[in-house]
Chains A and B, each alone.
Chain A
């Protein structure tokens, strides 16, 4: 009675859950394909390396399982004590991995070069991390605001609050003022921080970078034109007590809606505050 059955079971379960259509709360087993021009490519790279690992795994685990089944003393196996070395085998299992690694490094490097190319951006937004909120600053537009955890989530997340998180829509992932960006435009984000290191990441946009005090980091994304919607992320670098409670919400609007929103934010502050709707 070996691990075989356990492993087969685990593999079957893993395949079943991967293959199952996204249903209810047990979905979210894999990386999102995302909504930007590059996120799908990153997902593809992730799946490529995943399947390469699966194939290698089948080979390696297969060999292990065969030896564990076939070469058991209880099955009358007699050890071949002369089998201690094989230059040929050792050369093969050094060269083959190198070839696989090179094959993987090439597309990864290509994609990385694309990711790092932040030229020709249409809009620049400065994002500043604070303990524990974000500030969004639309450069040259005179629009700037803070984005903090939505009140209903904040009330529910207190110790012994007695509020069921499941009753709160988008618990811990909603804010008072979301970051609004247009779809189809190359948006550049400049990241910095006022106190400790934070990190700004949104899985659907396939971006993540540290916001470091005294330094400015840069990232960009371009949401596909038909992918208007709300995308959520969180601070992803430990930043103190309320690290878990400074979410990021990005609202992607069509160009026209974005322009209208920007104009409305430029109106006097009193009206802007009144116009705030929790997301």
Chain B
């Protein structure tokens, strides 16, 4: 029987949030950078 301590739960929650935010930021950066790259190439 394994149960996480409250501290462990909080740490895991932090990790989850950080990973998720980083991945989401990555997606947004790809999207924006992609369009910007084509605007530049275009001029």
- Asked if the two chains touch in their complex, CB atoms less than 8 Å apart, one says no
**What residues make up the interface of A, taking CB atoms closer than 8 Å to B?**
none
